[in-house]
Chains A and B, each alone.
Chain A
Amino acid sequence: IAGITQAPTSQILAAGRRMTLRCTQDMRHNAMYWYRQDLGLGLRLIHYSNTAGTTGKGEVPDGYSVSRANTDDFPLTLASAVPSQTSVYFCASSEGGADTDTQYFGPGTRLTVL
């Protein structure tokens, strides 16, 4: 069982370019999340999806969009990348709807915007 996979592992991107980070889980979890992790700031929620077909905004959604066409996939798109979006991006998933809703994280994508 792979759990959660993310692609690419790392990417260097020119400012202004469009980029999609991919996330796939095989645990049939209902809920999925995208976080960014920056030094000294901890993990911050960008967008989330409680179930396939629905999405919601987290703490830092500006400049990012997501879609949830099916249970397994939750891509994150940067429409026009800016240097402040340089970060490590983690996708996570959880069963959803439970009080003890543990989130499980993918290996991350390290993105550098120049």
Chain B
Amino acid sequence: GQNIDQPTEMTATEGAIVQINCTYQTSGFNGLFWYQQHAGEAPTFLSYNVLDGLEEKGRFSSFLSRSKGYSYLLLKELQMKDSASYLCAVLRGDYKLSFGAGTTVTVRA
């Protein structure tokens, strides 16, 4: 089966940095996605990594190590609007997504 693990909850202060880790074991690998999901809303695309290394996009960065089955999402200069769930998803060998359960990030003033 597919196994994607990420922490359930994280709390951080406005202006701080938070790193959300994701480890995976899946049937094949064609890339890793991070999605943001605000309460009661649809998931929205944040980032995609298929090669090892860091991808930076504004305040958000995503890192991938395929040999370790590991990724992280880095949120810098946290803002209140960043309070949301962050979903790690692996694009498997059959080009279908397997999702982790999500990490709920709470930003406090």
Contact = CB atoms under 8 A, between A and B. Distances in A.
B42 A42 contact: no
A107 B40 CA distance: 8
5 contacts: A42-B4, A90-B42, A99-B31, A103-B33, A105-B35
Given A42-B87, A103-B97, 17 more contacts: A41-B101, A42-B4, A42-B99, A42-B101, A42-B102, A43-B89, A44-B99, A45-B97, A48-B96, A99-B50, A100-B31, A102-B45, A103-B33, A105-B42, A106-B42, A107-B41, A108-B42
Interface in A22-71: 40-45, 48, 58
Interface residues of B, number: 22
Contacts of A105: 35, 42-44
B41 A45 contact: no
Contacts of B100: 42
A104 B97 CA distance: 12
A70 B41 CA distance: 27
Nearest to B41: A107
A98 B48 CA distance: 13
B74 to A, nearest CB: 20
A90 B91 CA distance: 18
Nearest to B48: A100
Main secondary structure on chain A at its contact with chain B? loop
Interface in B54-99: 87, 89, 91, 95-97, 99
A3 to B, nearest CB: 9
A90 B99 contact: no
Contact of A58 (B43, B45, B96): B96
Of A40, A48, A100, most buried by chain B (CB within 10 Å of CB) is A100
B25 interface: no
A100 B50 contact: yes
A100 B89 CA distance: 13
B30 interface: yes
Interface in A79-114: 90, 99-108
B43 A43 contact: yes
Given A42-B99, A99-B50, A107 B42 contact: yes
